[in-house]
């Protein structure tokens, strides 16, 4: 086992010269020695000295842990106590040294049963008369290998099963106890600590750690080295056969770790990083680390860590779209501030995905000046909520907790909650809060209550009810306008609004149209039903409630915009394939739409073989030339599907698309299924078929593609406009 000759240099000054107690090839202790009670310890510093062999899947390491102990008086009569260290079950603990305390021995726990959840193995380090602070030196080794393909799912961009893997295709040490962690009973969050990481370089691998490069330490050791700029909750190390490109942007060293085939994306990626820094640093404060890297990954991911983001090849290979569209690189970069700079106190729920989704996925369009797309995002967030099952409508503040809300609530409702919060306290005031949030909490844990406290200080009033109804509770109002009448003699407009139960405290935007334009006003509503009278000097023609979707609310099912989400919902699905050979992309798309459904509820027909009556009361996915089946043509005509099929192509909205690279993805409402959909994917050639894994992420009713790139998007939106009774 090769160990750096400089490891003594990493001891804290207080430890140098103290007695070291050494155990090599540690035997399991029997009844001859007492373990003593478990010490409650907090790690202050980690130093990880590593040698990684991708070819052999092997890791050899020394972890130096500076620990502070509590309750040291609670010892056995013989003065012993123990520290429990958790380590990956495939890693072997070889030796333990200590500074500031004597090591009596080690007991090894049983190797846990392996199932879908990776469980660490416990190692009990028995100490004699431990002091309030001491250092452990732990040597360990082993092989780390995962079945990468097992966690890859069609239509999903995150392989959450990956924990700790070393291979020639790449190295990912992101979880899985790949270095020893002290076990702290009853703690919901990891202790924040400083990290130093040293890695033996290999000839063909480039490495990135969740910290800043430490060039002076690299010079001293002759190895790659990193140090954290602020305390973090864990360490991540990744590596791959990459080409590295570097540039300094706004004082930050930016690196790109890419495959040879991705070199053409270098300029666009640097431009994306520079654009995001220029957008967000003025709003939320200086980027909290010294470096930022974008790293190509060998499995599906869009993961953010301190100082870098790990993106799957599929995301990077999207080229300009992933560089410029919101919710990709900008979302991951925002986690450098929120989630990896300011850490999430999971005892109070994960707030950082909501905040990153607001800042990137939504507010990015505001920064672009694209009001139309910003409105569309708010509208789609509301339509998302209207599709989910009632039992899934859990409080936003429970995300990340056991049996908490799902990702849709966390990302989409979360973004809307921050939009409403910014509207309430003022947009400039909101960003002032975020700058203070960054300044005060980088390197610390923060909670929803911390965010609320900062907002209240800026707002000057209590926000208790706002956070209680939007963060601590589920559900949402369903706004409707039951009556609108105008008394021309008194010039009074009377509106009867309804939101249902439970009643939220709302500021409801109202749009009144009149002969010369429209008038926007805001009215309060805090009861299930309310009658509001307004003095209006103009002659009102129509009234629309919340026309720009500034309130997170449920939409009646008949008004929800049809997208592929409608067709993928519900329990049953009929897929109609073209006759003859079926492209692999169609088979993949069928699997994506059938995800989560029982096999008996998914029926596949070939064109020309459809059973009578099978199209009327189920969600439908119709692929390729199957649209020309007479039975399909008749059905689509009956539901007024907005596409027409012509020789060599199709028509949409009066425009003909007949080039070989043209394709269309279109979803309409399925009349026979409440909230259901009929989705058609048609391409003029097999090469024009868009990538199946991306289909679920198009949240428009219709998308026209050319050479697999979207060129036209359209939504089939219903506006709930009520005519004013002036009789």
Residue 300's CATH number: 1.10.390.10
pLDDT-derived band at 155, boundaries 50, 70, 90: low
pLDDT-derived band at 152, boundaries 50, 70, 90: confident
Cis peptide before 502 (omega within 30 of 0): yes
Q: Is 14 a residue whose pLDDT tops 80?
A: no
Q: Is 149 a residue whose pLDDT tops 60?
A: yes
| Helix boundaries (H) for 406-522 | 407-408, 414-425, 427-441, 448-459, 464-470
Q: State the chain's mean pLDDT as an integer.
A: 91
Kindly tell me the burial class for residue 336, based on how many C-beta atoms sit within 10 Å of its own C-beta (0-12, 13-18, 19 or more).
buried
The pLDDT tens digits of the residues spanning 159-193 come to 889 999 999 999 999 988 999 999 876 555 688 99
Q: Is residue 261 part of a domain?
A: yes
> What is the pLDDT at residue 75?
55
Same domain? 360 vs 269: no
Residue 617: phi, psi to the nearest 5?
Answer: -130, 40
> What is the pLDDT at residue 571?
87
Nearest to 233 by CA among 345, 329, 135, 145: 345
Which residue has 């907005």 as its token pair? 642
The pLDDT tens digits of the residues spanning 224-266 come to 999 999 999 999 999 999 999 999 999 999 999 999 999 999 9
Q: Which residue has the higher pLDDT, 384 or 190?
A: 384
Q: Is 17 a residue whose pLDDT tops 50?
A: no
Same domain? 105 vs 186: yes
Q: Is 417 a residue whose pLDDT tops 90?
A: yes
Per cent of the chain over pLDDT 90 is: 82
Q: What is the CA radius of gyration of the chain?
A: 30
Q: Is residue 48 part of a domain?
A: yes
CATH number at residue 18: 2.60.40.1730
Same domain? 48 vs 180: yes
> What is the pLDDT at residue 108?
93
What dihedral angle (degrees, nearest 10) is formed by the CA atoms of 373, 377, 382, 383?
Answer: 80
> What is the pLDDT at residue 9?
31
Residue 541: phi, psi to the nearest 5?
Answer: -105, -50
Q: Is residue 62 part of a domain?
A: yes
Same domain? 225 vs 257: no
The pLDDT tens digits of the residues spanning 37-67 come to 888 899 999 999 999 999 999 999 999 999 9
CATH number at residue 495: 2.60.40.1840
Same domain? 36 vs 139: yes
Q: Is residue 160 part of a domain?
A: no
Same domain? 130 vs 261: no
Q: Is residue 727 part of a domain?
A: no
Taking the C-alpha atoms of residue 473 and residue 450, their distance in angstroms, rounded to an integer, is: 18
> What is the pLDDT at residue 682?
98
The pLDDT tens digits of the residues spanning 561-594 come to 999 999 998 889 999 999 999 999 999 999 999 9
pLDDT-derived band at 22, boundaries 50, 70, 90: very low
Which residue has 């049963």 as its token pair? 113
Strand, helix or coil for residue 244? strand
Same domain? 222 vs 277: no
Same domain? 488 vs 526: yes
pLDDT-derived band at 3, boundaries 50, 70, 90: very low
Q: Is residue 153 part of a domain?
A: no
Show the tokens assigned to 725. Answer: 């009774």
Domain that holds residue 248: 242-341
- For residues 538 and 493, the answer to whether their CB atoms sit within 8 Å is no
Identify the domain boundary among 319, 341, 363: 341
Which residue has 């399991």 as its token pair? 28
- For residues 346 and 402, the answer to whether their CB atoms sit within 8 Å is no
The pLDDT tens digits of the residues spanning 695-727 come to 998 999 999 999 999 999 999 999 989 999 998
pLDDT-derived band at 365, boundaries 50, 70, 90: very high
The DSSP output letter for 114 is P
pLDDT-derived band at 33, boundaries 50, 70, 90: low
Taking the C-alpha atoms of residue 26 and residue 123, their distance in angstroms, rounded to an integer, is: 11
> What is the pLDDT at residue 71?
64
Q: Is residue 156 part of a domain?
A: no
- For residues 725 and 712, the answer to whether their CB atoms sit within 8 Å is no
Nearest to 242 by CA among 197, 201, 293, 295: 295
> What is the pLDDT at residue 697?
87
Same domain? 28 vs 137: yes
Strand, helix or coil for residue 496? strand
Same domain? 231 vs 86: yes
- Exposure string of 365-400, with b = 16+ CB inside 10 Å and e = fewer, is bbbeeeeebbebbbbbbbbbbbbbeeeebbbbbbbb
If you average pLDDT over residues 403-423, what whole number do you get? 96
**13 Cβ contact partners less than 8 Å away, ≥ 6 residues apart:** none
What dihedral angle (degrees, nearest 10) is formed by the CA atoms of 669, 672, 674, 678?
Answer: -30
Same domain? 294 vs 432: no
User: How many structural domains comprise the chain?
Assistant: 5
Same domain? 360 vs 328: no
pLDDT-derived band at 30, boundaries 50, 70, 90: very low
Q: Is residue 220 part of a domain?
A: yes
Which residue has 């009074």 as its token pair? 492
Identify the domain boundary among 240, 273, 305: 240
If you average pLDDT over residues 300-323, what whole number do you get? 94
Q: How far is CA 595 from the centre of its chain?
A: 20
Identify the domain boundary among 240, 257, 290: 240
Nearest to 166 by CA among 151, 139, 148: 148
Q: Is the pTM for the entire model greater than 0.95?
A: no
- Exposure string of 164-195, with b = 16+ CB inside 10 Å and e = fewer, is bbbbeebbbbbebbbbbbbbbeeeeebbbbbb
Q: Is 607 a residue whose pLDDT tops 60?
A: yes
Kindly tell me the burial class for residue 606, based on how many C-beta atoms sit within 10 Å of its own C-beta (0-12, 13-18, 19 or more).
middle
């Amino acid at each position: 086992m090769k160990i750096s000759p400089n490891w003594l240099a990493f001891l804290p000054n207080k430890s140098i010269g103290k007695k070291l107690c050494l155990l090599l090839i540690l035997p399991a202790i029997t009844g001859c020695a007492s373990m003593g009670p478990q010490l409650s310890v907090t790690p202050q510093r980690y130093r990880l000295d590593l040698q990684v062999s991708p070819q052999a899947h092997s890791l050899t390491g020394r972890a130096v842990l500076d620990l502070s102990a509590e309750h040291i008086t609670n010892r056995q009569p013989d003065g012993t106590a123990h520290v429990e260290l958790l380590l990956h079950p495939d890693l072997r603990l070889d030796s333990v040294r200590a500074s500031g305390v004597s090591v009596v021995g080690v007991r090894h726990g049983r190797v846990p049963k392996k199932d879908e959840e990776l469980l660490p193995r416990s190692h009990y380090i028995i100490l004699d008369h431990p002091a309030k602070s001491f250092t452990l030196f732990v040597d360990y080794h082993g092989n780390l290998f995962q079945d990468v393909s097992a966690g890859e799912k069609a239509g999903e961009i995150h392989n959450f099963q990956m924990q700790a893997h070393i291979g020639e295709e790449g190295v990912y040490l992101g979880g899985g106890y790949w270095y020893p962690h002290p076990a702290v009973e009853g703690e919901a969050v990891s202790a924040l600590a400083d990290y130093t990481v040293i890695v033996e370089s290999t000839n063909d691998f480039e490495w990135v750690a969740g910290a800043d490069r430490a060039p002076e330490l690299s010079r001293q050791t002759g190895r790659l080295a990193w140090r954290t700029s602020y305390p973090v909750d864990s360490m991540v190390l990744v590596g791959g056969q990459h080409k590295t490109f570097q540039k300094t942007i706004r004082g930050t060293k930016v690196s790109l770790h890419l495959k040879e085939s991705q070199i053409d994306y270098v300029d666009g990626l640097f431009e994306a990083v520079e654009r995001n820094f220029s957008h967000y640093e003025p709003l939320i404060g200086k980027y909290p680390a010294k470096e930022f890297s974008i790293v190509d990954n060998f499995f599906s991911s869009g993961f953010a860590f301190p100082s870098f983001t790990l993106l799957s090849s599929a995301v990077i290979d999207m080229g300009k779209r992933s560089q410029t569209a919101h919710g990709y690189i900008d979302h991951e970069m925002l986690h450098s501030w929120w989630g990896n700079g300011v850490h999430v106190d999971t005892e109070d729920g994960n707030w950082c995905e909501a905040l990153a989704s607001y800042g990137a996925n939504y507010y990015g369009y505001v920064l672009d000046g694209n009001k139309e797309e910003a409105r569309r995002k708010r509208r789609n967030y509301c339509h998302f909520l209207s599709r989910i099952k009632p039992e899934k409508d859990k409080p936003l503040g429970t995300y990340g907790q056991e049996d908490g809300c799902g990702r849709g609530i966390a990302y989409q409702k979360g973004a809307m909650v921050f939009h409403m919060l910014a509207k309430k306290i003022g947009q400039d005031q909101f960003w002032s809060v975020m700058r203070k949030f960054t300044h005060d909490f980088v390197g610390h844990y923060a909670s929803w209550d911390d965010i609320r406290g900062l907002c209240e200080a800026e707002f000057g009033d209590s926000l208790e009810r706002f956070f209680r109804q939007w963060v601590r509770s589920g559900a949402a109002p369903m706004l409707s306008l039951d009556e609108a009448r105008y008394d021309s003699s008194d010039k009074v407009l009377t509106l009867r609004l309804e939101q249902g139960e439970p009643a939220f405290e709302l500021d409801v935007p109202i749009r009144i149209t009149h002969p010369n334009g429209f008038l926007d006003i805001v009215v309060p509503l805090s009861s299930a039903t309310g009658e509001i009278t307004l003095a209006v000097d103009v002659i009102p023609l129509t009234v629309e409630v919340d026309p720009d979707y500034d309130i997170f609310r449920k939409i009646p099912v008949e008004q929800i915009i049809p997208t592929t989400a409608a067709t993928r919902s519900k329990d049953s699905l009929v897929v109609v394939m073209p006759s003859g050979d079926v492209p692999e992309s169609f088979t993949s798309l069928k699997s994506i739409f059938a995800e989560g459904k029982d096999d008996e509820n998914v029926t596949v027909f070939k064109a020309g073989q459809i059973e009578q009556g099978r199209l009327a009361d189920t969600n439908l996915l119709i692929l390729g030339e199957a649209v020309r089946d007479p039975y399909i043509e008749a059905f689509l005509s009956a539901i007024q599907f907005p596409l027409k099929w012509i020789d060599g192509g199709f028509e949409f909205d009066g425009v003909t698309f007949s080039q070989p690279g043209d394709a269309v993805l279109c979803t309409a409402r399925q009349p026979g299924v409440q909230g259901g959909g009929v989705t058609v994917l048609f391409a003029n050639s097999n090469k024009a078929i868009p990538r199946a894994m991306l289909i679920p992420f198009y949240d428009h009713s219709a998308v026209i593609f050319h050479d697999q790139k979207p060129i036209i998007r359209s939504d089939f939106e219903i506006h709930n406009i009520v005519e004013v009774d002036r009789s």
